[in-house]
Structure 1
Amino acid sequence: MSKRICVVLAAGALMLSAAGCSGGDDEKTPHADASSSGPAPGASRSAPEYAKYSDFPGKDFATTEPGLSLGVRVKPIDTAWSPELAGVSADAGKHFFAVYVAVTGELADRGVNNAKLDYLRLKYKPTDPICGPEQSGYCFRDAYPKSQLADLQEVQQDAGGKWRDYAWHNMSVMGTNVSQGSTMLGVVGFSVSDAEKATGFELCGPTKASSVDTDNFACVPIDTPERSQ
């Protein structure tokens, strides 16, 4: 075979090889596009969004403010230790045990007028047995501060779904109307000493059957966040 024919054949082989490589790149293109449409490595993700009360995970309880015949359902959704909450600073040597809650009407077919969070209580097992009032080895703390109730969609729009970043305000007198089927969010704080090594935290509230005896309040366990100090 002449050198001229060899050169031509070699050139043809190179062209076929180049074409084969080009085709391989084209086949991989959809995968490259799919990966480029997703978030970059290390990119922050938005807070989870919930459309209604039942979307929130966890246990809840029905509670009724003393003197009223209709109450609300309350579900703890988050907890945190905070030196300040709803515009109120904790006393020196103490932090607020903040409990964020989702709230809806007790009955699905009707709303609730003037719903409040000021009847909620914190229940826990103390390291110091003298905490008053004490019942059955537990201590109870009243809610202060207590925020207003805000519509779930409003919180998600104003704070990007991050209820800790919402502009909560202490509401000690006025309640909030909870319309039929709506979901509201709020936060309550409980003053706890920095030296207290309490365990077994629960969020509780009065019921129609027991509006005074804290031993018989409805309760659900709540997570205890790590202290920063």
Structure 2
Amino acid sequence: MRKKKLKPYPKHMTVICEKTRLSNRIKSRDCLTINLKNRKTKKITFIMMNPSKANRIGMDKAIDWLIQYIQELISVINSAEKITQLGTLHILNVFPLYVSESKKLQGEINLVKEIIGDEKYEKLEQRNRRVIKNMIKHDTDYLVLAWGDPPKKMKGSYHQSQITPILNSIRKTNVPIYIFATENPTLLTLKNQPRHISRNLHKIKGLYRCSISESNEILT
């Protein structure tokens, strides 16, 4: 089956995609940065589950939606705040592996560990966390958490082991933190995770300002 081509970015935008090839088929992505070239200076960072398809050449559905979303006036539903003047979009991920179907993520992680070894994979995770920490600390004006629940076949304990150090880094910064507010009855998922946009594109009402507790829980 022929792969579906990615949608190209608007020609005026500049895209930086930091990728690593782990095998003939498997790649990881540290960061995807899109500069809108609109003379606006504010930078917004989204932390999602894992890369799907977007790269330097083209964007997948979620990245396309985010680019359009941040160019509009963003409402924060629990305050009078309006987020404007956004010129740069950073996409970071809890898990750096490219996987289009989340239910296959754990299997890909297991495969990469077989290929490069547990120790090298752990270093890959550590590098990913350093990228997140540095991006939030040095190059982010607004931060949106959007990684969703653990995918199928992944233990909740392993999922949480990757999220906790990220939340710990976030808690130690002064960057304003948000989650997506949707038409769902609760702000967080039933597993107390921020909602992922891929399952809620038509339900999003705006952003919701939140905070991180001393025990690294998302407080709404």
Query: TM-score category by the smaller chain?
Result: under 0.3
Greater helix proportion = 2
Relative CO higher for 1 or 2, CA cutoff 8 Å, sep ≥ 6?
1
Name which one, 1 or 2, has greater alpha-carbon Rg: 1
